[in-house]
């Protein structure tokens, strides 16, 4: 879930966590007649409104209405956002000023209904500022985001609204609310308090100032990083791309041509840089490309982010102390499974030591081949040499089996076999898309044919698009006011081929695709009444995505979909055996590069006094960790979008490791059954882990699914580290 959605959804308090979880229909056991009566009571107190802006209108067209991407412009979107804020403001005022005693229907359900036009425009806003990111949308974002932040604070700081929500939550038992209704009321009350509703007027004004300043800083940070990622390294001679696989050479040549350049362009994004660092023979060029990449946001120019980060951590520290916490991490982690920085650190430290020990072994193997010291721009290159020597496995040997279209079809097969979903591609033009590259699929229940929703797939990188891969939803499923279907999306940054050539991706990229698809499945499978209970804790939300990575190399998917692009033959078992044998290869590098980022994140956000020199802090923090000199953080602070484009993953990058404990334990459960597509386990996983959203405590839900708490031993085994 993006910063824009957090600010828009239900007045900022209903997006309680999570980047991908919406719903399918069950209604949490609440009778339809009760839901209808509650919806009618809520609607009765909301003012009749007729939105004027085009992008606030109810979505029309097939599939219960779809976003009008073909009519979106930055001026139209700005007008819609500003009008939508005013419309929501009037609705919130009607709820807060209602003279009738507060009830679940006239307060919580009404608040759930409020701002629907703004939510529609907000879904478009998130896409146009993240997936398109052209200058006009960046300018609009800089203007609108602080207004959105302030409007969200208005709701949080509305004393009359807070008292109504609190009264409903405190009186839930006496009112006979269902378990789901009680959880919605109590979580809403607690979110109000967590975000400053209990402060006095002076403190609220100060908190509002901080939040608006943070919103501006988040936007500035993200736009600076994108600007640095739009750069490239031009290689004029073919000798400079010696060693690169043919598909990567072609992509680099295409990148140069698209910029009216001669030669090969290595764009300053991970999807272009990592293959170059892994295979390019020219060591000096590897260093040049590496330095440009790791110094994004850290070049002392207009795109330098260090001052922006210093401002963000200073503001976060002020906010935490204003709210009664010692530091930002303690405030952020209240609504997580870990609960405290100490608990997160305990897990990270348990993995950090064996990971560093493994790096020593990996570097020794590489040095034996290289005959010289290993520098950070050497690591991936010589790791491939070691992989070939130890396991007779060349990553280039794998790529022909991972054609992008086939990988997606394999993911759809997994979803069908595990959860009964059917994905059917829509002919282009059936529904509008924000770029011609986007593919859209209808999702149905295989057994009943029931329509579930649409899945939008935006696969390719482009200038202005944020880096990385992510999932989001344009519309959440709900049943509290009639049935609403899901519009889910995945967003990647693969390099588009020229002339219709097959797009070959790496095994790592295939696993990333399955990961993001897991988020989409979380959205499509959910089954609860109120979208407000869709967001799961930050250190849980990556669990349903990470676990799906394991199915990439399952035999049915390899045989059916991961076929050689030229011969059409499935991957031979001998090659699968090599992959399995090398399954824990380079885990020192992978773990240290990720975990150093998570540890520095937690270190930064638990400081008693926030640092002002960010580069110096990063160096000192890594020195305290004993960071191996041959590796850099996966995300250095000057480009760490997870931390500084919103609060979402701040003091929370550990979440991937916390989720991986459950992910590894779940995969072990499937493997121990003798069938990784075990239908009984798959059905229970869908019903308990995916479908419930946050309607029940997630730790308790895991125990219901697995029969016990997750065992960290499974994680250590997956990474090949000692378990004792």
- State how far the Cα of 107 lies from the Cα of 48, in Å rounded to an integer: 17
What are the backbone dihedrals phi and psi of residue 476, each rounded to the nearest 5 degrees, phi first?
-95, 145
Using CA atoms, how far apart are residues 304 and 151, in angstroms rounded to an integer?
Answer: 29
Dmax over Cα atoms in the chain, in whole Å? 80
- 10 Å Cβ neighbour count for 680? 9
> Does 346 qualify as catalytic in the annotation?
no
Strand partners, 480: 482
Q: How far is CA 152 from the centre of its chain?
A: 22
CA distance 387 to 394: 7
User: Could you give the angle at which helices 135-156 and 201-229 cross, rounded to 10 degrees?
Assistant: 160
Q: How far is 532 from 182, CA to CA, in rounded Å? A: 12
Q: What is the DSSP letter of 637?
A: G
As given in the structure block, the two tokens for residue 251 are 């992509």
- Host H or E run for residue 652: none
Query: Distance (Å, rounded) from C-alpha 692 to C-alpha 18?
Result: 13
Helical (H) or strand (E) element with 400 = none
Q: Of 484, 464, 483, whose CA–CA distance to 474 is shortest?
A: 484
Cβ neighbours of residue 268 closer than 8 Å, sequence gap 6 or more: 228, 229, 230, 231, 232, 233, 292, 293, 296
Reduced DSSP (H G I as helix, E B as strand, rest coil) percent helix, strand, coil of the chain, to 5: 60, 10, 35
Residue 147 makes CB contacts below 8 A (sequence gap 6+) with 81, 82, 85
Structure tokens at 466: 């944020």
CA-based torsion, 547, 552, 555, 557: positive or negative? positive
The closest of 475, 646, 462 to 4, measured between CA atoms, is 646
432 vs 438: CA distance, rounded Å: 9
Least Cα distance to 601 among 379, 281, 345 occurs for: 345
- As separate numbers, helices (DSSP H) first and strands (DSSP E) second, the chain gives 31, 7
Q: Burial code of 14-39, b = ≥16 C-beta within 10 A, e = fewer? A: bbbbbbbbbbbbbbbebeeeebeebb
Going across the sheet that includes 439-445, the strands are: 421-425, 439-445, 451-460, 486-494, 470-475
Residue 430's CB is within 10 A of a number of other CB atoms, namely 15
Q: Looking at 403, 516, 660, 692, which residue is catalytic? A: 516
Cα 41 from Cα 106, distance rounded (Å): 6
Q: Which two tokens stand for residue 406?
A: 């086939």
Catalytic residues: 516
């Amino acid at each position: 879930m993006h910063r824009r959605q957090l600010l828009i959804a239900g007045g900022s308090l209903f997006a309680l966590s999570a980047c991908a979880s919406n719903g399918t229909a069950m209604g949490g056991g609440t009778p339809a007649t009760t839901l209808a009566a509650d919806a009618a009571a809520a609607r009765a107190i909301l003012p009749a409104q007729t939105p004027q802006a085009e992008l606030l209108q109810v979505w029309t067209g097939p599939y219960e209405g779809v976003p009008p991407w073909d009519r979106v412009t930055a001026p139209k979107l700005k007008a819609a956002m500003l009008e939508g804020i005013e419309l929501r403001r009037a609705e919130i005022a009607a709820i807060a000023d209602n003279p009738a005693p507060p009830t679940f229907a006239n307060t919580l359900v009404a608040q759930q209904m409020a701002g629907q036009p703004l939510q529609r425009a907000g879904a478009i806003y998130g896409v146009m500022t993240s997936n398109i990111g052209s200058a006009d949308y960046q300018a609009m974002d800089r203007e609108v985001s602080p207004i959105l932040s302030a409007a969200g604070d208005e709701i949080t700081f509305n004393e009359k609204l807070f008292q109504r929500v609190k009264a409903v939550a405190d009186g839930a038992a006496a009112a006979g609310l269902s378990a789901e209704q009680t959880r919605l009321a109590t979580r809403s009350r607690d979110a109000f308090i967590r975000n400053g509703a209990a402060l006095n007027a002076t403190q609220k004004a100060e908190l509002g100032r901080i939040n608006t300043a943070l919103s501006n800083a988040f936007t500035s940070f993200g736009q600076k990083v994108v600007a640095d990622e739009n750069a490239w390294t031009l290689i004029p001679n073919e000798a400079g791309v010696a060693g690169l696989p043919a598909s990567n050479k072609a992509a680099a040549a295409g990148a140069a041509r698209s910029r009216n350049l001669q030669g090969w362009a290595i764009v300053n994004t991970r999807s272009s840089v990592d293959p170059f660092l892994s295979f390019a023979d020219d060591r000096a060029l590897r260093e040049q490309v590496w330095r440009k990449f790791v110094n994004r946001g850290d070049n002392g120019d207009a795109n330098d982010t260090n001052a922006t980060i210093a401002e963000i951590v200073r503001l976060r520290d002020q906010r935490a102390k204003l709210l009664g916490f010692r530091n930002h991490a303690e405030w952020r982690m209240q609504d997580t499974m870990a609960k405290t920085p100490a608990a997160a650190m305990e897990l990270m430290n348990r993995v950090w030591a064996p990971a560093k020990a493994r790096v020593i072994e990996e570097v020794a193997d590489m040095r034996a081949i290289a005959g010289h010291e290993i520098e950070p721009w050497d690591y991936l290159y010589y790791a491939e040499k070691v992989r070939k020597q130890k396991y007779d496995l060349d990553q280039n040997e794998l790529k022909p089996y991972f054609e992008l279209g086939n990988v997606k079809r394999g993911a759809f097969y997994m979803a069908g076999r595990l959860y009964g979903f059917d994905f059917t591609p829509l002919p282009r033009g059936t529904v509008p898309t924000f770029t011609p590259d986007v593919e859209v699929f209808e999702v149905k229940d295989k057994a009943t044919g029931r329509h579930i929703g649409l899945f939008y797939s935006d696969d390719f990188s482009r200038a202005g698009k944020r880096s990385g891969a992510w999932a989001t939803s344009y519309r959440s499923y709900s049943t509290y006011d009639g049935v609403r279907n899901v519009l889910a999306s995945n967003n990647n940054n693969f390099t588009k081929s020229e002339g219709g050539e097959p797009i070959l991706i790496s095994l790592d990229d295939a696993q990333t695709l399955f990961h993001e698809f897991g988020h989409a499945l979380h959205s499509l499978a959910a089954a609860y009444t109120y979208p407000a209970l869709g967001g799961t804790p930050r250190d849980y939300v990556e669990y349903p995505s990470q676990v799906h990575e394991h199915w990439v190399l399952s035999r049915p998917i390899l045989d059916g979909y991961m076929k050689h692009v030229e011969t059409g033959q499935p991957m031979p078992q001998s090659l699968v055996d090599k992959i399995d044998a090398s399954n824990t290869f380079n885990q020192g590098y992978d773990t240290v590069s990720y975990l150093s980022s998570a540890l520095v994140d937690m270190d930064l956000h638990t400081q008693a006094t926030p640092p002002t020199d960010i580069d110096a802090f990063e160096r000192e923090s890594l020195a305290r960790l004993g960071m191996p000199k041959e590796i850099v953080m996966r995300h250095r602070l000057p480009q760490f979008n997870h931390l500084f484009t919103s609060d979402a993953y701040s003091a929370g990058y550990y979440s991937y490791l916390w989720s991986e404990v459950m992910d590894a334990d779940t995969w072990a459960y499937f493997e121990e059954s003798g069938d990784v597509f075990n239908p009984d386990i798959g059905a229970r996983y869908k019903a308990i882990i995916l479908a419930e959203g946050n309607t029940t405590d997630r730790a308790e839900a895991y125990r219901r699914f697995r029969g016990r708490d997750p065992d960290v031993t499974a994680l250590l085994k997956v990474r090949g580290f000692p378990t004792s």
